[in-house]
Structures are given as structure tokens and as C-alpha cells.
Copies of this chain bind each other. A is one copy, B any other.
């Protein structure tokens, strides 16, 4: 790998400046800060996610996958609020001087995602960090009509729990890579783990129908209970209503993974939406028009604060440990 004779400013100009897509707000990355216009009648939605090598992605992961994951997990948080993405701040801490090939692949992947999701890089920071591992911290910004952001706390008694797509693939993908399972057998799941697919372009539907929303980054059960807790409710999930991808169903049938793992594994980046029974069919029809496979998997209810899981004989859930924990 060729290390180029390049200082920080040259690196920024060559690889990060194109990510601004010429937006005036980024000021050519030459100012101390970006200056962004927020349309009248809108609010700013802001989220941050840090991805650390060997924690949030495997050591030595492809730079293109790292780039996409860093951006997309942040965009997923904006989607969960019903926000339209605008731009992002990109902070990268390099354990050693990065080589040209890594930077080129990383920035190319971000350029493609910029185009796909209609966002741009507004600024950030490149630093050196002691140790062996890369750390990427992004702050993504979006906009939402004033008062229309969808929060976790809005679920109402009897609201259906709508899931925008199948879960468990990211967990299976990670397990496949970590335990050396047959990657050919679970290729879809591996790709789902490596390159999340945030539920973009449905923010209008989310704002119109959802009383509450969250993305499933911590695991289905954990994030479901985040909405329930924030709304002062409990949740009931019916396992018979859940449909899994072919990969996940296969791995479940073969005993490669356990149902509990699928329900607790994070990183799927589907959305959970709380929607009234009347509106659920309308919302589901709209989501299907956007090539999603939504499913009603249960409901929120105010009679209890706990989680009930129906139609399971084999599942035992430790209510104190529903999902991903850092510490």
C-alpha cells in the first residue's frame, strides 16, 4: 500500500472536498464551521453515531463498507424521526497515516451514497489517534416541518407495531463472519450486516401515519421497548406474525442461530412504527409501494409496562438484557 506524501490539508482537498458536492454551506471546507440554511417553517433534526473498528465493524473491513455503514446508520436515525436528510459532519481518527487506496475507496463510497440519499458533507475533522484502530464519528442533520418530528414517546394504547422489514439478517451476517460459517449460504445476511440499508424516502409516510418510531439498531425487542417505555406503555409481540428472510429462516431451521438472537440482535436498521389500527392498512400499502415488506407484529398497550411475546414455546427472554450493550 502506497503512503502518499500528503499533509492534512491536501488529504482534505483531494478526498473530502468532493464530498461537499459544491454546497456553499460547506464553504469549501475552508472555514472554521459550515453555514446551513434551514427552510422557514422547518426544524433541524440532528443525530450522532460513532463507529469504532473492531467494535462496530470488523478490523480490516473494506473502506467502502466502513464509509457506507458510518453514513447509513446515521441516516437511519433521521428516518426514524421522519426527517429528510440534509448533510453530515464527518470526523475520522486515523491510527496511522492513511494510504491513498483506502482514502480513495472510502470517499468514492461516500460520494455514491451522497448521490443516492441526496446529502453532502458539510465539514468535520481528521485527526490522528494512538493505537491500532480507526474511529469514525458522524453527525447527520436533516429537516422536518415544524412540530412534525416523530418521537419515541407518541405511541397510543392499541397502536399496531409495524416493522418495515425482516430482522435478524445483520446478526446472522456478523455470526457468519465471526465464526467462519459458509458465507455463500448466508451472503445476503453478510451484506446486510456490512452495508445497512436505511429506510429512506419514506419520511412523508412516517410523518403522516406513525405516532411513534425508532430504528432497530439495538435489536427489535430493545427498540420496541424504547418506544413502549417512552410512551408509558407495554408491548405485545406475536412471533407468528413475523416473517424472516430466507437466510435467517434457514439458519433458524438448522439451529445455526436461535430465535432469541434474532429478536435481540441489532444492526438491522429497519424501523418500528406505532400506528393506529385504522391507519395501519393505509400505511402498509404506502410502504409496499416503496418496495418494502412491512409486517404488523403486535401492538402497544397501556394496561402493562412489560413485554409479552406470544406464540412461543421455546423462547425465554431475560427482560433485563434485550439488546446490544456497550458496557
Contact = CB atoms under 8 A, between A and B. Distances in A.
Interface of A: 6-8, 11, 27, 30-38, 40, 43-56, 76-78, 80-81, 83, 89-91, 93-94, 97, 122-133, 135, 137, 139, 141-142, 144, 146, 149, 151-153, 213-215, 226, 230, 325-327
Given A30-B226, A34-B46, A46-B122, A130 B89 contact: no
A95 to B, nearest CB: 8
A33 B47 contact: yes
A185 to B, nearest CB: 30
A55 B152 CA distance: 38
Contact of A31 (B48, B91, B123, B151): B151
A151 B128 CA distance: 26
Given A32-B152, A77-B33, A127 B89 contact: no
A81 B32 contact: yes
Contacts of A47: 32-34, 89, 123
B125 A7 contact: no
A327 B215 contact: no
A46 B141 contact: yes
Given A37-B43, A45-B35, A127-B52, A327 B30 contact: no
B80 A153 contact: no
A137 B153 contact: no
Contact of A45 (B34, B46, B78): B34
A224 to B, nearest CB: 14
A78 B128 contact: no
A55 B129 contact: yes
